Amino acid sequence: MNITIAICCFNSEKVIGKTLQDLRKYSDPALPVIVVDDGSSDATSIIAEGYGAIVIRHSSNLGYGQARQTALENCATDILAFIDDSCLVTEDWFQTLRTRWENADSKIQSIVGKMELSNPKNRIESFQARHSPFLPLPLSSVTQDSFFERVASYLRGKEDVEAGYIGGFSNGNASFRVESLKQIGGYDARFKLGAEDENLALRLVRTFGSEAIFYDPEIRVKHESNMEFGSFVRRNYRYGKSSAFRFKLTGGIPTLMPVPTIAILMILACVVAQLWPLILLCFLLPTLYFKRTIKLIYWSDWYLIFCGELAHLFGVIALLSGTTIKGIKYE
């Protein structure tokens, strides 16, 4: 089974060397590796070439969707596997991935592995390790479109799952049959800030059926994070923008994050009615909700979850109200 590895980068000189070093160390030395440099202004391309990668450089920053589509268009093997520029493969990553594809049923069009946040260096990174944003989405996320089903999916939340069929994934550790991606039109280049993986997953499942995407947690990469509170908020704000952009393109129901939406409406109602003591209740209710549903290890985690969801909500509102998409960054 012939496999090509693709890594999409933007100003990644601080991380791409270690990523490629481990990839070469723990995989076939002759493995084709494509690095798409999406308009970097640093030494990303030079470093990647030093590790024998096929470097394809965009003259300007075109965004996630186009970067991944460029990798697809330049792949000459049966399977294309993506890892992120800050992901370190484990010793058995490549061998496990190749074995899974050699034994894969013909119905399977994508095999997705697990992304683990490693070596947390501060409170935000420890929080992300406890509440990973990279967990797979259940099939119901793409097969059910009603408002109440979406709310129910939100209330259930993401959970770490055993190997099985899923409906959505993070592109940081995902592989595909190249012909299948081409059959559905590949990546949508209009998704510049993210959600290109959600859009792709939706089209895979709706074209090839509920067994199109298989998740195997034994195919693991370690995501090296460098995140402070500000970058955590900005990332969730960008996720909100990309979610709203997906809604504008494909319709359905936008992700409005019910808990912060309800909390904001309650606070506004209290201010209008001058019921100042009840404002404290508006903050207490989200605390109790997150403690019960997400099984918080630390009570203080609730406010980070709330801040992340609030930033996501503001991102949705910003894009739907006409804010220009800019400031693309791979992280």
pLDDT at 153 over 60: no
Which of 172, 202, 227 is a domain's end point?
227
Query: What integer pLDDT is reported at residue 299 of this predicted model?
Result: 62
Which structural domain, as residue segments, surrounds residue 269? 231-320
Which CATH number characterizes residue 81's domain? 3.90.550.10
pLDDT band, very low/low/confident/very high, at 252 (cuts 50, 70, 90): low
d(CA 48, CA 290): 43
pLDDT at 295 over 70: no
89 bridge partner residues = 221
Query: What integer pLDDT is reported at residue 44 of this predicted model?
Result: 93
- Whether 325 is in a domain gets the answer no
Which of 193, 227, 261 is a domain's end point?
227
- Whether 77 is in a domain gets the answer yes
pLDDT band, very low/low/confident/very high, at 330 (cuts 50, 70, 90): very low
Average pLDDT of the chain to the nearest whole number: 81
pLDDT at 328 over 50: no
* 125-150 pLDDT tens trace: 777 777 777 778 777 666 555 555 55
Find the DSSP H helices in the chain. 16-25, 44-50, 64-73, 93-102, 123-130, 140-143, 147-156, 178-183, 196-208, 229-250, 258-273, 277-293, 301-320
- Range picked from 62-71, 113-122, 159-168 for highest mean pLDDT: 62-71
Query: What integer pLDDT is reported at residue 9 of this predicted model?
Result: 93
**When comparing pLDDT for 286 and 179, which is higher?**
179
| Shared-domain flag, residues 152 and 44 | yes
Taking residues 176-199, report their average pLDDT. Answer: 90
d(CA 182, CA 178): 6
Please give the torsion angle defined by the CA atoms of residues 168, 89, 122 and 43, in that order, rounded to the nearest 10 degrees.
Answer: -100
- Whether 286 is in a domain gets the answer yes
| Shared-domain flag, residues 308 and 216 | no
pLDDT band, very low/low/confident/very high, at 327 (cuts 50, 70, 90): very low
Task: Give this prediction's pTM.
Answer: 0.79
| Shared-domain flag, residues 123 and 214 | yes
Burial class of residue 230, CB neighbours in 10 A (0-12, 13-18, 19+): exposed
d(CA 44, CA 38): 10
102 bridge partner residues = none
Taking residues 155-162, report their average pLDDT. Answer: 62
C-alpha R_g of the chain: 20
- Whether 328 is in a domain gets the answer no
Taking residues 173-181, report their average pLDDT. Answer: 95
Contacts of 228 (CB under 8 A, 6+ apart): 122, 124
| Shared-domain flag, residues 261 and 136 | no
How many of the other CB atoms lie within 10 Å of CB of 209? 12
